[in-house]
Structure 1
């Protein structure tokens, strides 16, 4: 196994409001990547960046949300977004954190940025009171699944989709 060297000039922190447009570009890349995995399951819209910027701005100061970026020399190269969720009878889940989004730009993959983002997101969700953190990974995203398993996540559910017709 090759040792991963995380850049020393990497900063993991919440983005400022002014940095959200650049983080939204990363979020739009994540959406497009998922859409490329399965266009019927994952939607894309026009103005993804603007839509995500608005969404992330609404979550930036939410007491239940965790939004952090990975900044290399001041430029975002990744981000993670999660929320503390209450008991959900439909999902058979007690109080929990959900890591909804994780994305690392191709330029920073393989350097430990994803691991740092997930670790910090978990720390922050646990600080909000989450006794467990769940996440969903696209079936085709085997690299992400390996990362999550290396950080202690285990498989608990399999989402199955059936299209109309």
Structure 2
């Protein structure tokens, strides 16, 4: 059985976190070609991760095995007022574990760490998005106690030219 530990991400983890983000998005792109990104994606991902690492409204947790970062998760605190009565809720935007380290409890551990962080901040509910084509992720999140709630639907605008 593998021994892993969790810790808060540091700025020095940024290169590996960016690599993990790209691997996560490559998987999504293989599942659905609509996952595509603009030319500034590297700059934007770096900015996004740095903002999260330095924010008291976000948590970036990393999992390590023998000092090597093998996975991460990113969660944010959000407010839903005044429209919805739920108040403060958590949003998990990222979860990634290197393929060779999957099915060893690391993903579950990262999620448990995130849930604990949310609970200490009086969060009532936690939300996340799962790609429709990612059956493995859907099964994982349902095993973690998440249930389908809303379905995001998309339709491209087709610009037709008239003669």
Distance 1:116 1:49 in 2: 28
Could you say if the C-alpha distance between residues 92 and 164 of structure 1 is closer, same or farther in structure 2, counting changes exceeding 3 Å?
Answer: farther
C-alpha displacement of 1:15? 1.6
> In terms of mean alpha carbon deviation, does 112-121 or 50-59 score higher?
50-59
The aligned counterpart of 2:129 is 136
Q: Deviations over 1:88-129 (max 9, x none)?
A: 567886321001111111111111111111111111122122
Distance 2:156 2:91 in 1: 26
- Residues 65-80 of structure 1 correspond to what in structure 2 (within 5 A)? 65-80=58-73
SS of the residue 1:140 aligns to: coil
C-alpha displacement of 1:30? 1.1
Superposition RMSD on alpha carbons, in Å?
A: 2.0
Unaligned runs of 5+ in 2: 159-163
SS of the residue 1:164 aligns to: coil
Matched, 1:164 2:132: no
C-alpha displacement of 1:38? 1.9
Unaligned runs of 5+ in 1: none
TM-score normalised by structure 2 residue count:
0.86
The aligned counterpart of 1:148 is 141
C-alpha displacement of 1:45? 3.6
C-alpha displacement of 1:78? 0.9
- The structure with the larger Rg is 2
Could you say if the C-alpha distance between residues 92 and 44 of structure 1 is closer, same or farther in structure 2, counting changes exceeding 3 Å?
Answer: farther
- Residues 1-150 of structure 1 correspond to what in structure 2 (within 5 A)? 5=1, 7-8=2-3, 10-40=4-34, 42-46=35-39, 48-87=41-80, 94-150=87-143
Q: Deviations over 1:63-86 (max 9, x none)?
A: 110110111111111110010101
TM-score normalised by structure 1 residue count:
0.85
Distance 1:106 1:56 in 2: 21
